[in-house]
Chain A
Amino acid sequence: MAESIRITTPFTEEMSRKLKVGDSVLISGTIFSARDAAHKAMTEALARGEKLPVDWQNQIVYYLGPTPAKPGDPIGSCGPTTSGRMDAYTPTMLDQGIKGMIGKGSRSPEVVESMKKNGVTYFAAVGGAAALIAKSVKKYEVLAYPELGPEAVAALTVEDFPAIVVIDSEGNDFYEIGQKPYRRL
């Protein structure tokens, strides 16, 4: 693989559209965690016409529910969770201005269509590499829904967070491209 591309947030549509499937990236800056329960809460808040706890314009969402931090650590183990569970909420969230998503696993056709429309990039972090990924997180601050525990919305300050572009803003899918040469059934 070619050398990693360094990305610093905020992550604009222009930056997103430059990335191509298979690109290896190192992300620095602030990214925001949200997973199942937070997605449900946020889409319900939008339906009620309320303001969201985070301005998602040009931001990156990380599908994450970390373990509690040990004393002296900014965060516990913090690998990605399965993105597909967020698919039902994702088009609504992308319309809020999100330009990057970090998770693991495949996405629905509706999500890919919304990504193309909004110029969004989907990154994969290595599923299960949670103790390793924690090394790139410098700060974890809960912003909303603290009652959800590990599912709270939080701001993560990251340095060289490693990820790979798995679906680019044109809808090219690395899960398909990466498997094909090794499919021998």
Chain B
Amino acid sequence: MRELDAKTITETVATMCKEAAYYLPEDVYEALKRGRATEESPVGQIVLDQIIKNAEIARAEDRPYCQDTGMTIVFLEVGQDLHITGGLLEDAVNDGIAKGYVEGYLRKSVVKEPLFDRKNTQNNTPGVIYTKIVPGDKLKITVAPKGFGSENKSGVKMLVPADGVEGVKKAVMDIILHANCNPCPPMVVGVGIGGTMDRAAVLSKKALTRPTNVRNPMPEYAKLEEELLAMINKTGIGPQLGGTTTALAVNIEWGPTHIAGLPVAVSICCHAMRHSEKTL
């Protein structure tokens, strides 16, 4: 059985937290440039110019792209033939988050208890960790820090089968129109369809880890992604102050669901569509 030291996981996660905060993925940068080339609003053009310049400064100077360096979502795919030694897997990941956020001068934005005390944990832990056991002996780590300006505008709608495709479109558009200019558009929209309420929500987050220029492999869903993107870009919301570049992509992930249900979850991400992926 292959062994992997928990310390290696910690070091890797720490590096990934910094990289995710500093370097906007290339596909998102290119999508912003394409948006700038087609943006019709003169104010929208100025906003996009600033956003593109910001991405260039952050990358060149190793600085956080946004001051909200997020709550750290980590997807783990653990090969079932892998043995982790020298510590617990979740501890190793959280130690990595703490190290990355402290060393990388990232903002610590996590409170331990949500309602009464709200005391900052001072190192951005704990992360939100999703673990899946997969075949093989590798560990795939995806670090996706999530800012809360956009997270606060995300939502779930529990549709019924009769609502169909039109119902899904309406559910997504209702959430987008309600979010409006607040989640720092141009946004990337992650949609999870199916499962249970909680599974749909996780699928919508998983959708945000897919590059903006890769469509769903199933043609029906790929077409729905394109249609929703076109609709969102006709809302006028634009890059914060009005215009035609409201979203850069719509990514849909789906899963099996119950005969009575059609859950739809929408995770809105701002233009800081940050993530980092590594396999150990």
Contact = CB atoms under 8 A, between A and B. Distances in A.
Contacts of A185: 231, 234-235
A127 interface: yes
Contact of B54 (A70, A130, A184): A130
B241 A178 contact: yes
B76 interface: no
B67 A79 contact: yes
Interface-centre pick from A127, A178, A179 (highest chain B CB count, 10 A):
A127
Nearest to A132: B54
Given A105-B181, A181-B41, A77 B67 contact: yes
Contact of B108 (A79, A149, A166, A177): A149
**Chain A interface category by residue count:** 35 or more
A130 B63 CA distance: 9
Interface in A23-79: 24, 37, 64-70, 76-79
A2 B54 CA distance: 23
A70 B235 contact: no
Interface in B21-44: 40-44
B50 A76 contact: no
A18 interface: no
A128 B122 contact: no
A78 B107 CA distance: 10
B235 A104 contact: no
B50 A126 contact: yes
A132 B67 CA distance: 11
B107 A182 contact: no
Given A68-B107, A175-B181, A134 B240 contact: no
Q: Main SS of chain B's interface residues?
A: loop
A183 B47 contact: no
Decide if the interface of chain A is mainly helix, strand, loop or mixed. mixed
A65 B44 CA distance: 25
Interface size class of B (residues with CB under 8 A): 35 or more
17 contacts: A1-B42, A1-B43, A67-B69, A69-B105, A76-B105, A79-B67, A105-B180, A128-B54, A128-B66, A129-B50, A130-B66, A131-B65, A150-B107, A150-B109, A162-B50, A178-B44, A181-B242
B134 interface: no
B20 interface: no
A132 B271 CA distance: 15
Contact of B181 (A67, A77, A106, A133): A106
A87 B104 CA distance: 32
A132 B50 contact: yes
A184 B66 contact: no
A92 interface: no
Contacts of A174: 241-242
A174 B105 CA distance: 35
Nearest to A125: B50
A132 B69 contact: no
Given A124-B241, A126-B50, A181-B236, A175 B67 contact: no
Contacts of B118: 37
Pick from A67, A104, A128, A150 the residue with the most CB of B within 10 Å: A128
B68 interface: yes
A166 B234 contact: no
Nearest to B173: A185
B72 interface: no
A180 B118 CA distance: 40
Given A65-B68, A76-B64, A182-B41, 20 more contacts: A22-B43, A67-B67, A67-B107, A70-B105, A79-B66, A79-B68, A105-B180, A126-B47, A126-B51, A130-B54, A130-B64, A131-B64, A133-B54, A174-B242, A178-B242, A179-B181, A179-B242, A180-B242, A181-B236, A184-B234
A97 interface: no
Contacts of B54: 126, 128-133
A121 interface: no
A164 interface: yes
Contact of B236 (A64, A105, A106, A183): A183
B4 interface: no
A182 B242 contact: yes
Closest 9 CB pairs of A and B: A178-B242, A183-B236, A179-B236, A127-B184, A105-B182, A182-B236, A132-B54, A179-B242, A129-B54
A130 B67 CA distance: 6
